[in-house]
């Protein structure tokens, strides 16, 4: 390898290696692919990275990614501002949007409480959520944090803050995933599915 260490190439490989889930072989493959791109495409790629950083900021209301002061959801007058769905990341909001079942608005926490990783409530965008609840427009807050220890803890923490304010706080239903196989569902999920059973 030493004989062929072309510095700019090694640097590019290193950059790809930093990305999550990209090992050294994949990073090599990607770097060579980028190197073999037409120049214009490489410039486009390079600019897309900078543009994303320079043009994207947090929506002043919901803290989701946005190009302007307000994100398209908060700006829209077709969205029900009385229901806020609290998610950990912008990607969770996209996942919920893709169901086309939710017409409320979002609030992005940008993480979950995780003492092991040194992330406490102060590092999350919880203050901004509380600020949205001062007038009486909000009737319900749906906690849609992940079904993990961290997500649970965050949901519990926030619900304890909101309940004294007289706001209805709900949590996404747990249960067996649609299309899944009972046989392969883990016990905790199955137990939750039993617990939350509905009358037919």
Q: Nearest approach, Cβ of 174 to a copy of itself (angstroms)? A: 23
Question: Does 7 interact with a copy of itself (rule: CB under 8 A)?
Answer: yes
Q: Which of 11, 160, 163, 168 binds a copy of itself (CB under 8 A)?
A: 11
- The helix (H) or strand (E) run that includes residue 44 is helix 39-55
CB-count exposure of residue 196 (10 Å: 0-12, 13-18, 19+): exposed
DSSP 143-167: E---SSHHHHHHHHHHHHHHGGGT-
Q: Nearest approach, Cβ of 197 to a copy of itself (angstroms)? A: 32
Interface region with a copy of itself, contact rule CB under 8 A, candidates 85-93, 119-127, 142-150, 173-181: 85-93
Question: Does 56 interact with a copy of itself (rule: CB under 8 A)?
Answer: yes
Q: What pairs with residue 154 in β-bridges?
A: none
Indicate the SS3 state at residue 58: strand
Q: What share of the chain is helix, strand, coil (3-state, %, to 5)?
A: 50, 15, 40
Of 96-115, which residues contact a copy of itself (CB under 8 A)? 97-98
Chain positions contacting a copy of itself, by CB under 8 A = 1-9, 11-12, 14-15, 18-22, 26, 28-35, 37, 39, 41-56, 64-67, 71-73, 76, 79, 89-91, 93-94, 97-98
């Amino acid at each position: 390898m030493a004989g062929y260490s072309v510095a700019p190439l090694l640097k590019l490989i290193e950059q790809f290696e930093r990305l999550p889930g990209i090992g050294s072989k994949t990073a090599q493959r990607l770097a060579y692919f980028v190197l073999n791109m037409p120049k214009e495409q490489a410039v486009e790629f390079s600019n897309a990275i900078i543009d994303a950083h320079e043009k994207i900021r947090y929506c002043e209301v919901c803290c989701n990614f946005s190009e302007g002061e307000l994100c398209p959801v908060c700006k829209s007058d077709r969205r029900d501002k009385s229901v806020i769905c609290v998610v950990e990341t912008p990607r969770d909001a996209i996942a919920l949007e893709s169901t086309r079942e939710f017409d409320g608005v979002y609030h992005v926490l940008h993480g979950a409480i995780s003492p092991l990783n040194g992330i406490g409530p102060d590092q999350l965008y919880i203050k901004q959520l509380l600020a949205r609840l001062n007038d009486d427009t909000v009737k319900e807050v749906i906690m849609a944090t992940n079904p993990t220890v961290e997500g649970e803890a965050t949901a519990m923490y926030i619900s304890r803050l909101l309940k004294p304010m007289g706001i209805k706080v709900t949590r996404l239903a747990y249960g067996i995933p649609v299309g899944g196989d009972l046989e392969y569902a883990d016990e905790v999920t199955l137990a939750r599915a039993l617990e939350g059973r509905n009358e037919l």
